Chains A and B, each alone.
Chain A
Amino acid sequence: MLNTAPSKTGVLSPEKRTQLRKRWLTAMLMAAPFILFYLLFLIYPTLRVIQLSFTDADLAGNGVWVGLTNYTKLFTEPTFWTALLNTLYFILLTVVPNTLVGLGLALLVMRLKRLRNLAMAAFFLPNVLPVSVVTSVWNWVLDSNFGLVNYLTGSTVTWFQDPVWAMPAVAFVTIWWTVGFNVLLFIAGLQNIPPELYEAAALDGASGFRLFRSITWPSLWPVTSLILLLQLIAQFKIFDQIYLLTTGGPFDKTLVLLLYAYREGFQQQHGGYSSAIGVVLMVIILVVSALQAKLLNRGGR
């Protein structure tokens, strides 16, 4: 790396200054294309959504300042609270279970020798499917009349339309779809545990569950916390599976924040109100991300 960052430009020779300017120009040329897209399509909309949330804009972006109206309406609207609670319920059903299932499967896969890659591929494969393929496959497997699950169990539950089962069913599909990601991370974590640790503990007479509790679990904790937080952030943004499997139904039992924002913004043309929902979602995710950054920093040390 070229060093000597100029602190006092005044004492530099002309050649040095040209050189510095040239270097600066090169750096800018390299960084600019990405930074341009980044500012235009990520940062600008993020600032604009805050501004829009104080207007009654439509989808074309025309609207006038309405102050806090959208927010007062939002916080007194029962549908918003339904959507928030449903989102939290979905998080409850996915984040910890998905992590635990991932850990369990990773521990099982680690035991295999020749078939390890095959088993890992089996658990990870759903992960590479487009969401609409996942939802149409499960819509078919869980079809209430002709689906395989109901045929085998004799059940008549309509999984994705039942007020009680819809959310757990979506959560189940989500776990099936995404757990492979967690399995991979856990396997990486498990492989990083030095075998000497186990050997030492075994010499001390530890075995069975005690080995897991005293060695595996503590050593895995950085990975586990990372997975938990990645899940948490991802699941706050849940939209695709819900839209495709239940469209928020039955009777708003699976309506989540992002779907609510979509409905209001794109289907009802309430751009300002929808932006207010977006701002709330963003604040929540920023808080969770800040938490993640803090935890990751600690884990890194």
Chain B
Amino acid sequence: MTATINKSTTTKPPAPLSVRLSRLWGGVITALTLVLAAAWVFPMYWAVVTSVKPDDETVAAPPTLWPQKFDFSSYSYIFQNSPIVRWYINSVLTAVLITFLVLLLSILCAYALSQINFRGRTWLYWLVLAGFMIPFQASLIPLFIFINKLGLVNSYTGLVVPQLAAPIAVVIYKQFFDQVPHELGDAARIDGASEWRVLFGIFLPLNWGITVSLGIVTFIAAWNNFLWPFIVMNDTAKLTIPVGITQIQSAYGVAYAKTMATAVTAAVPTVVAYLIFQRRVTEGVMATAGLK
């Protein structure tokens, strides 16, 4: 099937029968792709549909593809009986803060590494690159002990700071800054501009695209982060959405509609962010994978 990819670009004039065959074949492939795409999103559809059914309809046989009766009580239940609103606020605040700080710290550090010729620069860049390979998950215990010694367990600071230590954005920015023509910066410097002015007046505006892309990807990653918030937060009220909703799921009784209502509520921000900024997300993903 893969061979048909570039049939349209082949220059050989095909015979009429093969044209019809290949059109048919193309149609089949298109249909197959669309069916697969629909199957891929179906579980999400199913979650949404389940969340608006009454409890007894969720477990009825045969299952109903479209609710016979719409029942939004699961949503009102979770909003009234869980701190989900609080978790939302926690997630928004921490994810925004992490995104802002990651971008700011990375931009500054990458600019120094890329544009300023100072003693120890190569050495510092190697140090940053080395961290590229280090999995923070392997040192959860010392990280927890350290955060605890600082008195930051169960605090938003303790939740945020370890997420600022990943060097990936520094490396990406350095690559982008490296590609900016030297003349631009040098001209400004000759005019007496400080390095800060050069960075924020020239380099940052020139790399606005990657900043937006990285910002969105960082935001989604921070929003979705599970392991560290799960470990560092004790208080249910201080949890972020992805960790918090696992607390509702442990509820007893028939709770499928409530569980799905929770899942849908938790998924809304990142899904909306993706649907609006699809192209930016794609760009950001490419950058983080090392493909520009």
Contacts and interface: CB of A to CB of B under 8 A. Distances in A.
B173 to A, nearest CB: 10
Given A111-B26, A122-B37, A31 B124 contact: yes
A118 B36 CA distance: 12
Given A5-B117, A27-B116, A130-B226, A52 B133 contact: no
A157 interface: no
Given A129-B271, A141-B46, A240-B227, A282 B289 contact: no
B226 A146 contact: no
Contacts of A46: 134, 138-139
Given A129-B270, A132-B246, A188 B224 contact: no
Contact of B143 (A45, A286, A289): A45
Contacts of B146: 40-41, 44-45, 48
A244 B226 CA distance: 11
A23 B118 contact: yes
Interface string A103-128: 00101111110010111011111101
Interface residues of A, number: 111
Max count, chain A CB within 10 A of own CB: residue among B29, B143, B196, B249: B143
A94 to B, nearest CB: 17
B19 interface: no
A133 B266 contact: yes
B138 to A, nearest CB: 4
Interface residues of B, number: 113
Max count, chain B CB within 10 A of own CB: residue among A3, A129, A145, A281: A129
A2 B243 contact: no
A12 interface: no
Given A30-B111, A131-B242, A230-B289, A216 B50 contact: no
B11 interface: yes
Nearest to A145: B59
A151 B63 contact: yes
B167 A38 contact: yes
Interface string A146-178: 101001000000000000000000000000100
Given A1-B182, A212-B2, A31 B108 contact: yes
Contacts of B121: 27
A24 B119 contact: yes
A130 B224 contact: yes
A105 B145 CA distance: 44
Nearest to B183: A1
A224 interface: no
A60 B147 CA distance: 10
A4 B119 CA distance: 12
B33 A108 contact: yes
B204 interface: no
Interface of B: 1-6, 9-12, 26, 29-30, 32-34, 36-38, 40-41, 43-44, 46-47, 50, 58-59, 61-63, 104-106, 108-109, 111-113, 115-119, 121, 124, 127-128, 131-146, 148-149, 161-162, 164-167, 170, 182, 185-186, 189, 194-196, 199, 220, 223-224, 226-227, 231, 241-243, 245-246, 249, 256, 259-260, 262-263, 266-267, 270-271, 273-275, 278, 281-282, 285-286, 289-291
Given A111-B4, A145-B59, 18 more contacts: A27-B116, A41-B165, A44-B146, A46-B138, A107-B2, A108-B32, A128-B224, A128-B281, A129-B267, A130-B270, A131-B224, A132-B266, A133-B245, A185-B291, A266-B144, A271-B145, A274-B141, A278-B140
Q: Which 4 A-B pairs have the closest CB atoms?
A: A289-B133, A208-B3, A130-B242, A48-B142
